[in-house]
Amino acid sequence: MKVKVDGEERDVLAVWRERGVVKMVDQRKLPHSFEIIDLNDHKETAWAIKVMVTRGAGSIGCAAGFGMAQAALEAADLPDEEFMAYLNEAADTLRDTRPTAANLFKAVDKCLKASEWGKVSVKVEGILREAEYILKDDIKATEAIAKAGAKLIKDGFKILTHCNAGALAYIGMGTALAPIRQAHREGMDVFVWVNETRPRGQGARITAWELEQEGIPYALIADNAAGYFMQRGEVDMVIVGADRIAANGDTANKIGTYEKAVGAFENKIPFWVAAPGMTIDLQTKTGGDIEIEERDPREVTEMWGLNEEGEPTTIRVAAEGTNARNPAFDVTPAKFINGFITEHGLVERPFIEAFYWLFGQPGLPPSFKYAGT
């Protein structure tokens, strides 16, 4: 991801590891300041995931993998039994950070699997390699998603997206923003409607910032304005990311996605979900089985920004003592989704057969419409 910091263009990742230190772009500070935070052990990395220093399914998956790598290094001098006990405790710590995104749990499990054989030194090296593989695989997946999804976009398209599914959320080219980036790079005239995505404003703070960095035309809109622009014929398609996709295609994404999907369906606007296999959870049968994270209600009753002096500040917008609820995600039923943009191409109905054939057990009959790449 290319960013301009103090007039200088830099190429950075949302999350990476340098020896025992995990480094993250502190997304809590964007767009008003660009800061890198250092996490020195797996507990610090778990804290950073929980408080959303980094966020987005892919980025927290990579962070969890790197947290497991840190734990392996921390316990490298212990006897095998104690090493595994330490590693499993670290896995629980990382799993307990955020419950909804599939990538986090898959990353932890992949690192645990890498520790199943060999002496401790071999297990440590295996976990370190697996953590790096997760990052590299994510980057490759976003590049494939970009090329597959760009084929859906026509010159002059106005595309609506919700939350942030860019390079800060999924390392590489992002997921929902990947096809848009690709189309823009191919010279297509594309325009993006950016939902603000309350309550944390990831669209306003992060997606708009990413598009600005890349020079892609966009307009920030209030969440409640999306239906207005759909109804006026000013939205040609919707592309969103995902935090967990159930086997039947039901998709958990940032709160408000469901409303956008219903609006798109009503106005006959194609609604696509961009996500790699890492986000598809074949163990979760339907969206009703997905655990939805509920966050601090103060995110709803308060807002964060800069004051007149340009200093970061939080203000209360609701009366003191106001009761609030703050689910972080909702589930869009598969019936509202036209298809999925994956690293294997465009997947259309029936989703469950496509997912099993592409990402599950080999040998299942591929009796589905598969658009390919």
Read off the pLDDT of residues 68-86 as tens digits, 9 standing for 90 and up.
Answer: 999 999 999 999 999 999 9
**DSSP labels for 290-345?**
SPPPB--THHHHEEEEE-TTS-EEEEE-S-TT-----BSEEEE-GGG--EEEETTE
Residue 22, pLDDT > 90, answer yes
243 given a catalytic annotation:
yes
| pLDDT averaged over every residue in the chain | 94
Task: Judge if 122 and 262 occupy the same domain.
Answer: no
Residue 269, domain CATH: 3.40.50.10470
Confidence of residue 6 (pLDDT cuts 50, 70, 90): confident
Task: Judge if 129 and 59 occupy the same domain.
Answer: yes
Q: What is the pLDDT of residues 108-152, one digit of tens each?
A: 999 999 999 999 999 999 999 999 999 999 999 999 999 999 999
Containing structural domain, residue 99? 2-142
pTM of the entire structure? 0.94
Task: Judge if 217 and 108 occupy the same domain.
Answer: no
Residue 373, pLDDT > 50, answer no
> Pick the residue with more confidence: 372 or 93?
93
Confidence of residue 364 (pLDDT cuts 50, 70, 90): very low
The pLDDT, as a whole number, for residue 90 is 98
The pLDDT, as a whole number, for residue 361 is 54
Q: Interior CA angle at 128 toward 244 and 82, to 5°?
A: 95
Residues 137, 243, 250, 330: which is the catalytic one? Answer: 243
Residue 19, domain CATH: 1.20.120.420
List strand residue ranges (DSSP E) for the chain, in order: 2-5, 8-11, 15-18, 21-25, 36-39, 158-161, 191-195, 218-221, 237-240, 244-246, 251-254, 271-274, 280-281, 302-306, 312-316, 329-332, 339-342, 345-347, 370-372
**Within a domain: 147:** no
Task: Judge if 133 and 161 occupy the same domain.
Answer: no
Residue 372, pLDDT > 50, answer no
Domain end residue (candidates: 107, 142, 177): 142
Residue 339, pLDDT > 50, answer yes
Domain end residue (candidates: 95, 118, 142): 142
Peptide bond into 99 cis (omega under 30): no
Residue 297, pLDDT > 90, answer yes
Task: Judge if 74 and 167 occupy the same domain.
Answer: no
Domain end residue (candidates: 94, 118, 142): 142
Q: What is the pLDDT of residues 165-174, one digit of tens each?
A: 999 999 999 9
Task: Judge if 205 and 63 occupy the same domain.
Answer: no
Task: Judge if 180 and 305 occupy the same domain.
Answer: yes
Task: Judge if 246 and 366 occupy the same domain.
Answer: yes
Residue 5, pLDDT > 80, answer no
**Within a domain: 364:** yes
Residue 1, pLDDT > 90, answer no
Instruction: Give percent of the chain with pLDDT exceeding 70.
Output: 97
- Exposed, middle or buried: residue 14 (CB in 10 Å: 0-12, 13-18, 19+)? buried
**Within a domain: 297:** yes
Task: Judge if 360 and 227 occupy the same domain.
Answer: yes
Task: Judge if 52 and 173 occupy the same domain.
Answer: no
What's the average model confidence in pLDDT over 31-54? 97
The pLDDT, as a whole number, for residue 357 is 86
Q: What is the pLDDT of residues 45-66, one digit of tens each?
A: 999 999 999 999 999 999 999 9
Q: What is the pLDDT of residues 193-250, one digit of tens each?
A: 999 999 999 999 999 999 999 999 999 999 999 999 999 999 999 999 999 999 999 9
Domain count, the chain: 2
